[in-house]
A and B are shown apart, each in its own frame.
Chain A
Amino acid sequence: MTSQLTAPAEIVEGLGPNRVRGKVVKRPQRDVAVQSYIPEVIRGIGITLSHFFKNTKEMALDQRNDPVLESIDDGINTISYPEQRRPYAERFRGVHRLTTREDGSPRCVACLCCSTACPAQCIYIEPADYGDDPKRGGYEKYPKRFVIDELRCIFCGFCVEACPCDAIRMDTGMHPAPYDSRDQFIYEKDLLLSIPGRDGKHESANPRHEPGDPTFPGIDRERGH
C-alpha cells in the first residue's frame, strides 16, 4: 500500500504558487515548415488529385468495381450513387404501379380495399361505371381517378396485400424520385399505369384465369369431370 502512495518519477510535486501536481510534457516541434502548413497542404492536394485521376481513369475505361462485390469486402467502399446503385432486394417495396389487363385497361375495379387498408390514407379513388361502353369487356366498375400521394405513403405494402385483383403492385424496384415540388409526388392513374414492373411488363405476373382459359384451374362444362 505504501508504495502506491509514493508519486511516480515523472510526476512533479508542488509546481507553482498553488503547488499543482502535474506531468511534464515536451512541447511539440514547431519549425517554420510545419507552421506555414504549405507542405501539408501540398500533400493533401496530392492525395485528392491521385484519387481524382484514379477515379477518372476508372470511369473512362469502365473499370469500376461492382458495388455489390465491393460491399462484401472489408473496409470503406464507395458507391457512386446515382451512377452506381446498390441493387434492391427481391421483395423491396418500391413505388407503386397499376397493372393492366391484356387490352391495356387497368385491372383495378375500384373496390377501395387498398384505400381502406392504407394506414397513411394516401390513396384516393373515384369509382365509375363502364355502363354500356363497349370497352367494358365483362367488367362493370373501373377507377375514374386513382391517386397516390407518395409523400404520405409509408411503403408498408398493405395496399398490395389488400388488393383482390392484383391490380396494385410495388415491384417496380424504384423509390420515388426527389422532385422539386410537392405536387409532383401526387401520382395520378396514368402515371401509375405507365410504370413497368421489374420485368419491364405492365401486366401482372398473376393473370386472372377466366373459366374459358386453358389455364383455368377448375373443371368446366366443356372438359367435364
Chain B
Amino acid sequence: MPTFKLDDRDIEFQPGDTIIQAAHRAGVDIPHYCWHPGLSVAANCRMCLVELGPPPGRGPLLLDVLRYDAKTGEYVKTKKPKLVPACQQPLTEGMEVKSQTSEHVAEARAAVQELLLLNHPVDCPICDQAGECRLQDYWLSHGANKKRMRDEIVHKPKAVSFGPTIVYDAERCIVCTRCVRFCDEVVGDHVLDKRERGNLSEIVLAPGRQLDHAYTLMTEYVCPVGALTAKDFRFKARVWFLRSVRSVCVGCATGCNSYTDFDPRNQTVYRYRPRDNERVNKFWMCDEGMLDYRRIHTGRVLAAQAGGKQVAVDAGLDAAADACRKIDPNTSAVVLSAQHSNEDNFALLQLAQRLGVTRLFLSGRPEGEGDDILRSEDKNPNRTGVIGLCGLQTPGSFKDFAALAEQGNLRTVLALGSDAELPDRASALSKIESLVTIATHQGPFVKAARVVLPASSWAECDGTFVNRDGIAQLSERAVRPQGQSQPAWKLVAGLASRLGHDLGYKRVADVQAALAPQERSGAAVQEAGATA
C-alpha cells in the first residue's frame, strides 16, 4: 500500500483517499466540522487546513502576505505557504503533510476558530450540545483566545421548530451543511437548504415542508455544534453526567450499532446514539430506533404476578413451577421471543428440551414500516438468532400457535416475551388453561397469563442479537434491572432448578459459553464495529 507522511508518522492510504480520510482510518484526528466520513466533501469550514510539502522537483507554493508587526506598528511584506483543506486534497505517494507541527496551520486554525465564534451567542449554559460541542473542544485546543470583536453579534432566529423532532438555532449554526448533505445524500429528501451568504447564512426548510422524514434525529447527531437539537433530549440532561455502553438497537431486524447513554445516578437511559459499523448501519440510525430507548422505562412488567396478584419473584417462580409440573408434551408448547436475546431464548430452549416439550413457536412484535436505507419491516432484533438456535426444529409461527390455542389444544404454555405478532389473533390466548409468561413489557401474553415473571430489558443485561444478515452482536448492560425484574435466562434457570433440572447458569457468561460460536458475538464482528 502507498504511504504518506503526516507530521512525523507514515500512514498507509488507498488510492483516491483524501488526507483526512486516510488519517481518520489510521486513528489520527485532523480537526474538522463539515467533513463527515459518510457524506460528500463540502470543504466550507476550513478547519482542516494542512500544510503540504513541495511537489518533487519544485519549490514550495508561497503566497505574498502582509504581516502586522506589533513592535513597529507597521505591516511587513512576508511569505507564507498556501494551506489546503485536508478533506479535499487527494493523496499521492510520499506526500508530506504537516498538521500538528506547522505554525502556519496552527495560526490558520486559530483564525478559523475565531471567525466561527465571531457571531456565536455563547449560550452554552442552555445548549444541549455543551460538553460534546466541537466549538468548545476546538476553542480550547486552538488558542482559547478571548473575543476581540466588540460589535454586537448578528442576531438570527433562535429555537425554530423544524418539525416534530428537531429545533434549530440559527445563531449557533456554523453552516457546515452536514445536515443538508445528510438529508440529500443519505435520505434522499431535499428538505433542508442554506440561504443567504456570509454571516447572514442560515439553514432553512423547503417551502411548505417540515423536517419529518424517518431519519430526522440523525441531522441532530451529525450537527457538530448545538444548532440542531432534538426535542426529545432537549433540556433533559447534561451530557457530562451521562455514561455510555455499546449496545445494539432492538427496534428492528437491522441491528444498528448504538451507544446507550444513561445517567448512572438515577439509572435512567436518556438516548441512543449511532455507533459506526461499516458492515451494519455505517454511521446512521433511524428516528424510530433512536427513540426506542423510551421503551426501557415505559410499559414494563416490574413485579411477578400469580393468580392475578402481585407476588415476590420467588413465589412467582414457585407458582410457575407448579404450572409446569403438569406439562404434557401433547398439550403443551413453548413460545420463544424474537425480541429477546440469544441467551434468554437458549436457556428456555434448554428447559423445553428437559421438559420434553417439542412444540416450539416464535412470536414478536408485529411488522412495521421499512425502507432501503436501514429500517426493516421485521421489528424484531433477533428472529434470525432464534431460528438459528432451534436448528432443524424450526419454530412455528404465531398464526399456527393462535390456531392451536383457538381449538383449545393447549393446556400449559411457557412463553417468553409478551408480544403477539398478529394483534387481532391475540384473543386466542385466553383459551390457554395455564400460561406462564416471562416478559419485559405489558402485552397480550401478560394479560392472558396465569403466572407472569418480570424479565430485565435489553438495557439491563448483556445479550446477543443476530440481525437480518446473520451478524451476531453483543449489546452491553447499561442500567441495573428495574423493579424486581431479573434477566430472563436467570428466571428460566430458577424455574428449571425448581423442576429438578440444573441448567448450571449462574452468570451470563455461563449461558454464553454454552452457545455455539456463531450464535454469540464473534471477536471479528466486534473489531469491525470498533474500527469506525
- Residues of A at the B interface (CB closer than 8 Å) are 109-113, 116, 127-129, 139-141, 164-165, 211, 218-221, 225
Contacts and interface: CB of A to CB of B under 8 A. Distances in A.
A111 B125 contact: yes
Given A128-B235, A211-B152, 14 more contacts: A109-B125, A110-B126, A111-B125, A111-B126, A116-B238, A116-B240, A116-B241, A129-B234, A140-B159, A141-B235, A218-B150, A219-B152, A220-B151, A221-B152
B158 interface: yes
Interface in B381-438: none
B156 to A, nearest CB: 14
A138 B3 CA distance: 54
Nearest to B158: A140
Contacts, number: 41
A11 to B, nearest CB: 76
Contacts of B236: 127
B313 to A, nearest CB: 32
List the 7 closest A-B pairs by CB distance, nearest first. A111-B125, A220-B152, A141-B126, A127-B235, A218-B150, A211-B152, A112-B238
Interface residues of B, number: 15
Nearest to B154: A221
B238 A164 contact: no
> B124, B234, B235, B241: which has the most chain A beta carbons within 10 Å?
B235
Nearest to B169: A140
B235 A129 contact: yes
Nearest to B236: A127
Contacts of B150: 218-219
> B124, B151, B158, B234: which has the most chain A beta carbons within 10 Å?
B151
Given A110-B235, A141-B235, A165 B158 contact: no
A165 B126 CA distance: 11
A194 to B, nearest CB: 24
Interface string B151-190: 1100000110000000000000000000000000000000
Nearest to A212: B152
Contacts of B241: 112, 116
A100 to B, nearest CB: 17
Interface string B114-143: 000000000011100010000000000000
Nearest to A221: B152
B291 to A, nearest CB: 18
A218 B151 contact: yes
A221 B153 CA distance: 9
A219 B147 CA distance: 14
A113 B125 contact: yes
A218 B152 contact: yes
A165 B234 contact: no
A127 B126 CA distance: 10
Contacts of A116: 238, 240-241
Contacts of A128: 235
> B126, B234, B238: which has the most chain A beta carbons within 10 Å?
B126
Contacts of B159: 140
Contacts of B125: 109, 111, 113, 164-165
Nearest to A223: B152
B273 to A, nearest CB: 20
B135 to A, nearest CB: 16
Contacts of A221: 151-152
Nearest to B265: A121
